[in-house]
């Protein structure tokens, strides 16, 4: 039975673990939902010694120091490595397309860019991910909770990826050459288009169009609009033989709508009446 060791069993890595276990892998992991504590050094090192593949989804610290490489880097020599990074390493491109040949470290995620580079230097497969969505983590939940916005920035576009397509990309890349791979869908779009399509599927009116100032977003949410880029996925398709099952937001949202819980869907009409909570 092959063994995968995962540092940081969060949303995306959890979906990967479930898929691997269905395919006969043993998965050992750290994180709140994991099987080991990150600080349980003796057992972590023991499990790593028998791991066939190691994946980290742990973000860097504020200074760019990667906690996994800092504490356990000496145990990773000779291991097959994967790292879940972010397309935020590319910074703002003014809406232009960006691929893996582009410079990194120019955006707001300097620490992430440093960690990304450190894993590449270790010979890892580094998967650069845009906005992630999937079951129980999508615009449908934001609409139901009154957190969906339409912002009057007509030239703003974003890339995104369904969590199932990340999982298939990582699995496809396990035996691929080391390097960076963008895992994104084929059709970047504005956040407004995403919200409008989701509202159409729910049968409700979308929230009003607002300026950034009127929306009164949190600093984290506002930072989402600070960068504008389209992420190219051609390398992953060519080298990994990967093809997204959800190539655009329309197919992804339709699939999610079919499994959206009635409790979430039933809250949407209140949003349409402007009952923002």
Taking only the tens place, the pLDDT of each residue in 56-114 is: 999 998 777 899 999 999 999 999 999 999 999 999 999 999 999 999 987 777 899 99
Between 197 and 275, residue with greater pLDDT: 197
205 within some domain: yes
Residue 53 near residue 80, CB atoms below 8 Å: yes
Q: Where are the beta strands (DSSP E) in the chain?
A: 3-7, 26-29, 53-56, 80-86, 97-98, 125-129, 131-133, 150-151, 160-162, 179-182, 209-210, 230-231
CA 88 to chain CA mean position, Å: 11
26 within some domain: no
pLDDT (0 to 100) of residue 224: 84
Average pLDDT over every residue of 257-269: 78
Q: Where are the alpha helices (DSSP H) in 4-134?
A: 11-22, 41-49, 67-72, 110-121
pLDDT (0 to 100) of residue 269: 60
pLDDT at residue 173 tops 50: yes
Of 106, 131, 111, nearest to 182 by C-alpha is 131
The region of weakest confidence among 42-46, 62-66, 111-115, 232-236 is: 62-66
167 within some domain: yes
Domain coverage including residue 112: 59-272
Residue 172 near residue 235, CB atoms below 8 Å: no
Is pTM beyond 0.75? Reply is: yes
CA 90 to chain CA mean position, Å: 15
Average pLDDT over every residue of 25-54: 97
Terminal CA-to-CA distance of the chain, rounded, Å? Answer: 49
User: How many Cα atoms are found within 13 Å in the side-chain-facing hemisphere of 50?
Assistant: 12
Instruction: Using DSSP, state whether 151 is helix, strand or coil.
Output: strand
Residue 194 near residue 148, CB atoms below 8 Å: no
Instruction: Enumerate residues 6+ apart whose C-beta is below 8 A from 253.
Output: 138, 139, 140, 194, 197, 198, 201
Most confident of 149-158, 178-187, 203-212: 178-187
Query: What confidence category does residue 267 fall into, taking pLDDT thresholds of 50, 70 and 90?
Result: confident
Average pLDDT over every residue of 254-275: 72
Residue 73 near residue 26, CB atoms below 8 Å: no
27 within some domain: no
CATH number of the domain bearing residue 84: 3.40.50.720
Residue 116 near residue 128, CB atoms below 8 Å: yes
164 within some domain: yes
pLDDT at residue 181 tops 90: yes
Taking only the tens place, the pLDDT of each residue in 188-208 is: 999 999 999 999 999 999 999
44 within some domain: no
The region of weakest confidence among 104-118, 121-135, 174-188, 202-216 is: 104-118
Look at the chain and report how many structural domains it folds into. Answer: 1
pLDDT at residue 227 tops 60: yes
pLDDT (0 to 100) of residue 130: 97
**How far apart are alpha carbons 12 and 208 in whole angstroms?**
31
CA distances from 71 to 67, 99, 123, 182 (A): 6, 31, 18, 27
Residue 110 near residue 63, CB atoms below 8 Å: no
pLDDT (0 to 100) of residue 63: 74
Average pLDDT over every residue of 127-144: 96
Q: How many residues are given for the chain? A: 277
pLDDT at residue 258 tops 90: yes
CA distances from 186 to 55, 165, 172, 262 (A): 25, 12, 18, 30
Average pLDDT over every residue of 8-26: 98
């Amino acid at each position: 039975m092959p063994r995968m060791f995962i540092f940081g069993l969060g949303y995306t890595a959890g979906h990967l673990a479930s898929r691997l276990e269905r395919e006969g892998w043993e998965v050992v992991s750290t994180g709140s939902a994991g099987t080991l504590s990150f600080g349980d050094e003796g057992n972590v090192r023991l499990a790593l010694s028998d791991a066939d593949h190691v994946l980290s989804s742990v973000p860097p610290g504020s200074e760019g120091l990667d906690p996994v490489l800092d504490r356990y880097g000496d145990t990773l020599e000779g291991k097959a490595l994967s790292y879940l990074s972010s397309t935020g390493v590319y910074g703002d491109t003014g809406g232009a397309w960006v691929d893996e040949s582009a410079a990194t470290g120019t955006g707001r995620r300097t620490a992430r860019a440093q960690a990304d580079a450190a894993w590449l230097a270790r010979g890892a497969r580094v998967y650069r991910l845009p906005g992630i969505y999937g079951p129980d983590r999508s615009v449908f939940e934001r609409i139901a909770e009154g957190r969906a916005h339409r912002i009057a920035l007509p030239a703003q576009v974003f890339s995104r990826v369904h969590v199932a397509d990340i999982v298939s990309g990582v699995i496809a890349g396990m035996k691929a050459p080391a390097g960076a791979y963008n895992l994104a869908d084929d059709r970047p779009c504005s956040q407004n288009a995403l919200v409008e399509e989701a509202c159409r599927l729910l049968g409700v009116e979308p929230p009003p169009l607002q300026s950034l100032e009127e929306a009164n977003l949190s600093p984290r949410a506002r930072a989402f609009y600070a960068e504008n880029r389209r992420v190219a996925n051609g390398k992953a398709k060519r080298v990994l033989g990967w093809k997204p099952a959800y190539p655009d937001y329309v197919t992804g949202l339709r699939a999610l709508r079919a499994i959206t819980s009635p409790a979430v869907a039933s809250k949407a009409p209140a949003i349409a009446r402007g009952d923002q909570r």
